[in-house]
Amino acid sequence: MKPERKKVVLVGGGFAGLHVAKALNKSDYDVMLIDKQNHHQFQPLYYQVASARLEPSNISFPFRKIFQKSANVQIRLAEVTGIRSESNQVETSIGIYDYDYLIIASGCKTNFFGNAEIEKHALSMKTTEESIEIRNRILMNFEKLITAKAEERESLLNIVLVGAGPTGVELAGAFSEMKRNILPRDYPHMDFSGLKVYLLEGSKNTLNSMSDQAKTASRKYLEELGVIVKTETFVTNYDGKTAVLNTGETIPSQSLIWAAGVTGNVIPGLNPENMVRNRYKVDRYNKVLGTKNIYAIGDIAYMETPKYPSGHPQLANVAINQGKNLAHNLVKMMKGKEQVEYEYKDLGSMATVGKHKAVVDLPFWKFHGYLAWFFWMFLHLMLILSVRNKLQIFFNWAWNYIAKDSSLRLILKTKKE
């Protein structure tokens, strides 16, 4: 008689969760992947959806398509609302599910640092839907400009980006290139010389976590594109029409995009003492401290190692490899083999600012400019899941490169909006 198959409940299908599910596909575990979305989202290219360079379908991959030939991976479209560790159950919006092993890969959400007013009015970009919302807002503001009163024009023309990490830098560059190459052709009878893209950063540099070379080059590229970069500057309030800065300056704007930080999507039910900055404390095998069969991986996990005593950076590469390592350890566990501890090997970081303008930090080489830009495009293209999507994005990028244009500026809103 065969032993009963163990049940793995996996919360979240981001980079970490997806790679667990793929690695456990066709294994002797029964896997249930629970996510609020029915698709995996390629977050590094959200900014291209927000700036109307790519369609959402190019970077979104339905779970049921990915696992349509799988006999042991099930999908549930639901929100996990609680964990009952004493009875090995998770509470969801569609019911309660039992597990033998629970893997939390719930990722992060935008961190507004407790400012409810900013959270109410600012735009964020942590999902495909939010990227589309930014695209809709920006494009609608351009339409409103045609008939706007004089006193409203400045707030429609100002785009404010808060946070000069890769997301903020890439969005700032994209909107600046839109101003240069797209808007004069889409609106030939309008003057967009007054359109300003502001990039606000609380630290001293853009891309503050990267090398000095990347910091210097990224700011230079941004300013060449006309972006107004303000470092050591915070937004203290935003009411949907005016951003108030810590310097006392105000910026009229109906488009403020918040990319200034993230915080973990914590699920109620576990001991809060086993948390650090809204991340679950885990051991070297990603098991949540104080539990027997609950694991956390990716952005939501806080693992201290000799190389990273303050936890790993919240990067896609960390999430992917923690997911793979945990899946392989679960298989080893079933076979009675020794598990492998996780350690992050830093493969580098990068960001693109505009055409021929990018920065790349590799462990053995740091470079920027043309080569960095092509390197950035090649790597992101290779990371896209399906061949079909790789080809779609390649041809889209090739056309944009030649024509400095795309035909993706669609305003898609619901009736409620």
Tell me how far apart the alpha carbons of residues 411 and 214 are, in angstroms, rounded to a whole number: 35
DSSP state letter for 73? E
| Structural domain total, the chain | 2
**Sheet containing strand 357-361, strands side by side:** 349-354, 357-361, 366-368
Same domain for 225 and 304? no
Structural domain includes residue 413: no
DSSP codes, 151-192: HHHHHHHEEEEE--SHHHHHHHHHHHHHHHHTHHHHSTTS--
Question: In angstroms, how far apart are the furthest CA atoms of the chain?
Answer: 80
Angle at 400 between CA 56 and CA 402, to 5 degrees: 165
Tell me how far apart the alpha carbons of residues 379 and 75 are, in angstroms, rounded to a whole number: 29
Whichever domain contains 316, its CATH number is 3.50.50.60
Backbone angles phi, psi at 380, to 5 degrees: -65, -35
Same domain for 239 and 128? yes
Q: What is the pLDDT of residues 403-415, one digit of tens each?
A: 888 767 888 776 6
Whichever domain contains 158, its CATH number is 3.50.50.100
Structural domain includes residue 174: yes
Backbone angles phi, psi at 349, to 5 degrees: -145, 165
Same domain for 198 and 325? no
Q: What is the pLDDT of residues 199-245, one digit of tens each?
A: 999 999 999 999 999 999 999 999 999 999 999 999 999 999 999 99
Same domain for 79 and 123? no
Same domain for 228 and 296? no
Same domain for 212 and 190? yes
Per-residue pLDDT for 3 more than 80? Answer: no
Class of residue 166 by CB neighbours under 10 A (exposed 0-12, middle 13-18, buried 19+):
buried
Structural domain includes residue 11: yes
- CA neighbours within 13 Å on the CB side: how many for 183? 23
DSSP codes, 35-58: ESSSEEE-GGGHHHHHTTSS-GGG
Q: Which residues contact 241 (CB under 8 A, 6 or more apart)?
A: 155, 252, 253, 254
Structural domain includes residue 186: yes
Same domain for 164 and 76? no
Per-residue pLDDT for 417 more than 80? Answer: no
Tell me how far apart the alpha carbons of residues 329 and 323 are, in angstroms, rounded to a whole number: 10
Structural domain includes residue 366: no
Whether the full predicted model's pTM is greater than 0.85, yes or no, is yes
Q: What percent of the chain has pLDDT over 90?
A: 93
Structural domain includes residue 411: no
Boundary-marking domain end, from 232, 260, 288 = 260
Boundary-marking domain end, from 309, 334, 359 = 334
Listed in sequence order, the DSSP H helices in 160-315 are: 166-181, 183-186, 212-224
Please report the pLDDT score of residue 409 as a whole number: 82
Same domain for 99 and 181? no
Q: What is the pLDDT of residues 53-73, one digit of tens each?
A: 999 999 999 999 999 999 999
Q: Which residues contact 382 (CB under 8 A, 6 or more apart)?
A: 390
Backbone angles phi, psi at 226, to 5 degrees: 95, 5
Structural domain includes residue 348: no
Give the domain range for residue 193. Answer: 116-260
Structural domain includes residue 408: no
Same domain for 33 and 19? yes
Please report the pLDDT score of residue 412 as a whole number: 78
